[in-house]
A and B are shown apart, each in its own frame.
Chain A
Amino acid sequence: MKGKARKALVVGGGMAGLEAALKIGQAGHEVILVEKEANLGGTALLLSSTFPKWQDPLEKLNLKLEQLKKLPAVEVYTNTEISSCTPNGSGYSLTLRNNLTGEETGVEAQAAVLATGFDYFDARKYGEYGYGTYPGVMISIEFEEMLREWKKGLKREKAPGAVAFIKCVGSRDRIKGYPYCSKICCMYTARQAGMFKELFPQASCYVFYMDYRAAGKDYEEFVRSVMEEKEVRYVRGRPAKVLPYGGKLMVRSEDTLMGVPIEVEVDLVVLAAAAVPKKETLELAKSFAAATNQHGFLEPVDGFTAKAGTRVFFAGGCGFPTDSAGAQQQGAAAAAEVIALFNQD
């Protein structure tokens, strides 16, 4: 069968899935790209800007979408999910279901790439932060929407006078079951705080941190510029409580560098909720017989970087939280492994 065009399924049209679909398509194979939302793009569609270069995430996304349009061999199914998957020896027999029309389509694919991204820790599990109880407490992805509106010049009159960011919410917590570091929240919190101060230089902005993790190209410089140029106040401590306080919110913490308990009054609290595996990805992993680790993130096997089972590969946040560049790199790596597999068939 050497040289014969084969078909790959890509589940999830975020940065990782898009890159995988593009590369497999550019190598001359057919691709079915399945996205459950109405639009391709995934999390990138929700972001107001990106670290480490303050780029508009839509710039790169649009570039990718244009490249995709030039590849007729990539069939895109939006509003669609996989309703059944049966391994058949040389690949998978699948049923796709359109969530709007209920219409089902049967397809065959000789390899699959899972690129479904990650989910967020349910911040209500920290009763002490009042998420879901106090309207001024939100998680980072919700704050992106406010930033996007302010950036467009909307609702600026309602902007808060002071914001506190709390990092490691759920992450690095053995008791809540997530001992790992979610890897990207230090960076996006710095970016959100910096952007907020850029928009409202008069406002106060605090970042409560246990560590700030900035191991990446241009990352350390990025976080330092947020502290030094945007004048975001970093306070070392994991807050213990958020309380309503005369129409505002009071954050209680220890300033662990001073070794004293402190209280900070703010209007808004932004929680960097841990990245956790999506439940539906776990189900997909089961039906594709893909390996997962103890937390439920997809896991490479046999010394590969993106292979999770015989004919199933993965990329991006469903393997572990990653920045957008990492998602793209992993998408390319998954594509390389699929192409190599097809070449050996």
Chain B
Amino acid sequence: MSFQVGSIDRTFRDELEMACNVDLDQCWECGKCTGGCTTAHNMDYTPRKIIQLIRIGAVKTLMSCNTPWVCVSCRLCVDRCPAGIDIPRIMDYLREKSLAIKDHGPGVDDIILFHKLLLEEVYKRGRVSETALALKFNMQTGQYFKDAGLGQKLLRKGKISPFSSKVRDLNKVRSFFKQEPDRREV
């Protein structure tokens, strides 16, 4: 795979730098972000590589890679970055942008589905019911018997409940949402 470095247009990068309040020219390509990252071993592209991909304008790769979805926003990278680059903010931005796109890789689509289902649960009940969430996710990804054994064990020990409870003041939780979670694709 080769990237067309010479012919890139800077629009994507400029918009990202503005929105995230970062200056990617300051990156030293040192990898300190990656070395401390909680989940780098599960990423298609390490955080340092994400910065590079933005700099060379590889938008397609950025929109389809799993990195932003694997990032858990722990902020260890910014804490240690010698240039103070706010990588989790960049990951947020990439998530927002790539949500508008249909076709991610299969792994990524599942992660996005999980995010949406989780938000929907929070919107509906003000909290997450693990049982309902796991069931919905497994059904929609065609993994009908996944977690069935484990689920039974947890049920028996009272660690999860088949009933989903609501929080008392649901409206308070809902006020965190700008809008109702988008359910069209769910």
- Same complex: yes
Binding site for B on A (CB under 8 A): 128, 168, 172-176, 210, 236-241, 252-256, 259-262
Q: How far is the CB of A166 from chain B (nearest CB, A)?
A: 10
Specify which chain B residues have a CB less than 8 angstroms from the CB of A260 in the assembled complex: 41, 46
Complex interface: stretch among B78-86, B117-125, B168-176: B78-86
Establish whether residues B36 and A240, one from each chain, have CB atoms under 8 Å apart when the complex forms: yes
Partner of B49 from A176, A210, A252, A259 at Cβ < 8 Å:
A259
State whether the Cβ of B55 lies closer than 8 Å to any Cβ in chain A: no
Of B31, B48, B80, the most chain A CB neighbours within 10 A belong to: B31
B147 within 8 Å of A (CB atoms): no
Cross-interface CB contact of A256 among B31, B82, B84, cutoff 8 Å: B31
Residues of B at the A interface (CB closer than 8 Å) are: 26, 28-37, 40-41, 45-46, 48-49, 76, 80-84
How many contacts A-B (CB < 8 Å)? 76
Contact B80 A237 (CB under 8 A): no
Specify which chain B residues have a CB less than 8 angstroms from the CB of A239 in the assembled complex: 32, 35
With A252-B36, A254-B48 as given contacts, are A128 and B29 in contact (CB-CB < 8 Å)? no
Report how far A256 CA is from B33 CA in the complex, Å: 11
Question: Which residue from A128, A236, A262 sits with its C-beta under 8 Å from B80?
Answer: A128
- The answer to whether B34 touches A254, judged by C-beta atoms less than 8 angstroms apart, is yes
Is the pair A241, B83 in contact by a Cβ cutoff of 8 Å? no
B88 to chain A minimum Cβ distance, whole angstroms, is 15
A259 and B46 in contact, given A238-B30, A240-B32, A240-B34 (Cβ under 8 angstroms)? yes
CB-defined contacts of B41 to chain A, threshold 8 Å = 260-261
Listed residue (B28, B35, B76) with the most chain A CB atoms within 10 angstroms of its CB: B35
- Of A172, A254, A256, most B-chain CB atoms within 10 Å: A254
Closest approach, in angstroms, between the C-beta of A124 and any C-beta of chain B? 15
Closest to A241 in B: B36
Q: Known contacts A238-B28, A254-B40; can you find 19 more A-B pairs with CB under 8 A?
A: A128-B80, A173-B82, A174-B26, A210-B28, A238-B32, A238-B35, A240-B34, A240-B35, A240-B37, A241-B35, A253-B31, A253-B35, A254-B35, A254-B48, A259-B45, A259-B46, A259-B48, A260-B41, A261-B40
Contacts A174-B26, A260-B46, A261-B46 given: A254-B31 contact, CB under 8 Å?
A: yes
